[in-house]
């Protein structure tokens, strides 16, 4: 596997992702991990008696639910960092509250949900230089406190700030020419080609925000981005071009 500095985003739908963590721990290059936690957050909110509402795929987060959301994300980050450390890759769990390194602006209609406007890349660079793998929970801050941030969008912003490739690991194999046929994976897409597939409806439903996040990573400064299934061995396959869909700024 190439000794390449990467950002990897783990979707909450991947659960423990044991096999993926083994591979991440063995990656020879520097690594930043951003994680989601949607299913876990939904389950915890339900236990507390809260209902969950989404708008355009994003969780509406009233102030009274933010504490629970942050608790779940923090716990997940600590668990992931601990497991990576046990696998021989020292890791530390952080969120935008730490040194205020993720600054955001609230999307008022969604409650305490935010968009990342500024990333203090130096904070993450310092952790990497010290030999630690940052495990980032998608919590940003504004003048009033914490903001819940979509994990894909957080990953895009962090990858752009560090100017590193972003690999989004999720429960889909990439962009498919025929959404019903996994054998029609499209290996590489330029920005305009990806946008055309969205306009044509080939990329639809839950794939739209995933592709949008990959394109946002390019906008922010990532040299490339990829979407792939979070299965054991996937990282090497993505880097070799044998798995997932790679997004590039220029036409392919």
Question: What positions carry a catalytic annotation?
Answer: 9, 12, 38, 152, 210
Structure tokens at 192: 């305009």
Q: Quick one: the chain helix, strand, coil %, rounded to 5?
A: 40, 25, 30
Distance of CA 201 to the CA centre of its chain: 24
How far is residue 23's CA from residue 58's CA, in Å, rounded to a whole number?
A: 30
H/E segment holding residue 52? none
**In the block, which residue shows the tokens 């700024």?**
249
Structure tokens at 34: 């951003």
Mind spelling out the 3-state secondary structure of 220-241? HCCCCEEEEECCCCHHHHHHCC
Burial 72-95 (b: 16+ CB within 10 A, else e): bbbebbeebbebbbebebebbbbb
How far is residue 218's CA from residue 213's CA, in Å, rounded to a whole number?
A: 9
């Amino acid at each position: 596997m190439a000794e390449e500095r990467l950002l990897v985003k783990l979707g909450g739908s991947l659960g423990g992702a044991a096999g993926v963590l083994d591979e991440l721990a063995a990656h020879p290059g520097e690594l930043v991990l951003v994680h989601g936690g949607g299913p876990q957050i939904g389950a915890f909110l339900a236990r507390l008696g809260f209902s969950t509402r989404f708008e355009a795929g994003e969780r509406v987060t009233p102030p009274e639910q933010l504490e629970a959301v942050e608790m779940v994300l923090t716990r997940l980050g600590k668990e992931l960092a601990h497991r990576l450390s046990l696998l021989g890759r020292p890791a530390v769990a952080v969120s935008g509250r730490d040194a205020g390194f993720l600054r955001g602006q609230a999307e008022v209609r969604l409650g305490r949900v935010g968009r990342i406007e500024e990333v203090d890349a130096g904070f993450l660079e310092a952790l990497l230089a010290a030999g630690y793998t940052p495990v980032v929970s998608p919590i940003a801050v504004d003048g009033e406190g914490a903001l819940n941030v979509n994990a894909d969008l957080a990953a895009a912003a962090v990858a752009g700030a560090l100017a590193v490739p972003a690999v989004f690991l999720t429960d889909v194999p990439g962009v498919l020419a025929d959404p019903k046929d996994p054998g029609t994976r499209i290996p590489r897409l330029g920005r305009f080609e990806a946008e055309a597939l969205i306009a044509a409806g080939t990329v639809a439903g839950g794939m739209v925000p995933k592709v949008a996040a990959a394109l946002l990573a390019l906008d922010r400064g990532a040299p490339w981005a990829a979407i792939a299934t979070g299965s054991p061995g996937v990282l090497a396959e993505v880097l070799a071009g044998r798995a997932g869909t790679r997004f590039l700024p220029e036409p392919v």
